[in-house]
Amino acid sequence: MRILVVDDEALLVKGIRFNLQNEGYDVVTGSDGLEAVQAVQEQQPDLVVLDVMMPNMDGLTACAKIREFSDIPIIMLTAKTDDMDKLMGFDHGADDYLTKPFNILELKARIRALLRRAGTTEKQAPSSTLTIGTITLDLDARNAYRNGVLADLTAKEFDVIEFLMRNPNRVYSREALLDTIWAYEYRSDIRTVDVHIRRLREKLEENPAEPKYILTKWGVGYYFRK
């Protein structure tokens, strides 16, 4: 399944591409509205992530031009928070709207929802649940369960556990987790990661003092054992 990501912020595009490729998507990119229109015509993606403010042709104009020949799902990205700007996006044909700075896992959840709405089959789309051992994530509702019992996670705690479970047995440093999960928000204190890991163990492990899944590789970072 192919997703087109168009934004003139190269680092943002790189981060989105990395995360979507980890989900199994084929990702193509562009840096302005003209490239967006051309890529939809030539690459035939299944969904477009499109920034509003770009050179050569802005995202709103590109969205309207794409709508002249395609009903592909489009998610608009913008740094503007005004409701009128969002309404303009919908008026130009956008299906969804995300305000910067945004959370990458929320973007992925919205992508899954739009692909299902567009008629994507379960075989084509990533699963809406993720289970390893006694821990299950409902990716659409963003709920976590331990042995079938709902765990009361905060939004960021869910982001952390989802990322680790999607990449089991891979060790991530605190800095890497900050860059990935807090990437589009103001930089957090590195100790924030430790606090979130501790709380996740308290909520999802049978014995937080001797965790079975959410583990530490001393001197390196954290990982989820599969």
The arithmetic mean of pLDDT across residues 140-150, rounded, is 92
Q: If you average pLDDT over every residue of the chain, what do you get?
A: 88
Residue 125 has pLDDT above 70, yes or no: no
d(CA 208, CA 221): 17
Local structure of 120: helix, strand or coil? coil
What does the pLDDT look like over 49-89, one tens digit per residue? 999 999 999 999 999 999 999 999 999 998 876 666 667 77
Quick one: what percent of the chain has pLDDT higher than 70? 91
In this predicted structure, the answer to whether residue 102 has a pLDDT above a threshold of 90 is: no
pLDDT (0 to 100) of residue 194: 94
Instruction: Provide the pLDDT confidence category of residue 120 given band limits of 50, 70 and 90.
Output: low
**Residue 179 pLDDT > 80, yes or no?**
no
Rg (CA), the chain: 19
Residue pLDDT, tens place only, 22-43: 788 999 999 999 999 999 999 9
Residues 4 and 28 sit within 8 Å (Cβ to Cβ): yes
